[in-house]
Structure formats: C-alpha cells, structure tokens
C-alpha cells in the first residue's frame, strides 16, 4: 500500500455501513442518515448495494471460525445495505462513538442515545458497522468503493472540503465544495 501524505489538519476517512435491519426500515435509515449529517460528517461517497455471501465471507474473514461468523455472513447478505465514506477531523473515533458499543445490551445501558442503543436489535443486527483504524478504513473503503482513490481524494477533494464552504446535495447524497460565484459587474 502506498503511503499517502496528509497535512496534520487533513480530514480523516472512515467506512460506515448501515446494515440490512436498518435499511429495511426507511424511518430508521433516515434517522441514521440525519445523525450523520447533524454530527457534521462530510459524506464523501455513498451507495446502496446487495452483498453476496462470498463478499461477506471475504470482508469478515478475520472472524472466520468464531461462533457468530456464519450468522453474520447470512445476515449481511440478507438484504440491501448502505455504504458511506465519511470524512471528519477524527472520523473513525467519532463514528464509533456515535454508533455506540457493538453489544446492543451494553449500548442500551451505556450509550442509550447512540445508534445501536436506539435502533440495535441484537449483537449481529446492531444497525451499523464502522472501521476501527486508519488501516482498516482504507481496506474497507476499497472493498466497498473499488473505484475510489484515497490518494486522489486527499490531493484533489480533501483540501477543498476542509477549507469550505461545503454544501450537501440531497440528490447526489454527498457533500461538495460549494461553488463561489464571482461578483457581477455593475
């Protein structure tokens, strides 16, 4: 993997997944989307997709052999998911805090206002997934957005988004650098 030079002020990227249990319920899906926006994440890319079991197995291969692996693979392939690339100064930690603990019982008691505390059903059907490190974020983003170049994004889009102004396009579902109009001649 090539090293990507980033300024100390650079935005950080993370992968955020909305799992089939939430995508199946439009009100929950919209509530999670609104939490992303209200927590000032920039949505860099988004897509909805149906995952095949082979894709799930490959993505979760680090858990192969654990008691929940097959259940997780079956669940993640059971319906559409929404994938986001999110950007923020501390995107990974902020998204993980917003999601809440993985175990729904713990989330309901320790972080009841978190996404998992509010909407999670079980430890597998816990509404969301998020990268746990910069390395996993890069790997996971590449798995869901194979045409996305992290290096090109840091070179071309990130500086514009960081400097602002930024606007959200509901039609495209992403944030863009706002076009500044040149003053009109009098």
Domains defined for the chain, CATH in brackets: 12-142 (3.30.70.141)
Does the annotation flag 126 for ligand binding?
Answer: yes
pLDDT in tens, 78-115: 999 999 999 999 999 999 999 999 899 999 999 999 99
Name residue, tokens 């001649």. 185
Does the annotation flag 172 for ligand binding?
Answer: no
pLDDT in tens, 10-59: 999 999 999 999 999 999 999 999 999 999 999 999 999 999 999 999 99
Write down the pLDDT at residue 181.
46
Q: What is the mean pLDDT of residues 145-153?
A: 97
Does the annotation flag 96 for ligand binding?
Answer: yes
What does pTM read for this prediction? Answer: 0.90
Q: Does 6 score more than 70 pLDDT?
A: no
SS3 16: strand
Cβ(167)–Cβ(153) below 8 Å: no
Does the annotation flag 163 for ligand binding?
Answer: no
Q: How far is CA 117 from CA 17, 80, 91, in A?
A: 16, 22, 20
Q: Return the active site residues.
A: 129
- Spatial separation of the C-alpha atoms in residues 53 and 75, rounded to whole Å: 9
pLDDT in tens, 163-181: 989 999 999 999 999 875 4
């Amino acid at each position: 993997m090539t090293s990507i030079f980033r300024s100390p002020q650079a935005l950080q990227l993370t992968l955020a997944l909305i799992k089939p249990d939430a995508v199946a319920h439009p009100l929950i899906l919209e509530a999670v989307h609104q939490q992303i926006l209200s927590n000032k994440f920039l949505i860099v890319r988004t897509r909805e997709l149906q995952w095949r079991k082979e894709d799930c197995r490959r993505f979760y291969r680090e858990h192969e052999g654990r008691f929940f692996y097959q259940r997780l693979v079956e669940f993640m392939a059971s319906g559409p998911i929404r994938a986001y690339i999110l950007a923020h100064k501390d995107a990974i930690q902020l998204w993980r805090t917003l999601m809440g603990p993985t175990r729904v019982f713990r989330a309901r008691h320790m972080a009841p206002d978190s996404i998992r505390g509010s909407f999670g059903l079980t430890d597998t059907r816990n509404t969301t997934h998020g990268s746990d490190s910069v390395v996993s974020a890069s790997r996971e983003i590449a798995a869901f957005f194979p045409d996305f170049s992290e290096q090109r994004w840091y070179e071309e889009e990130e500086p514009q988004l960081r400097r602002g102004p930024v606007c959200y396009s509901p039609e495209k579902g992403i944030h863009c650098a706002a076009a500044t109009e040149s003053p009109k001649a009098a």
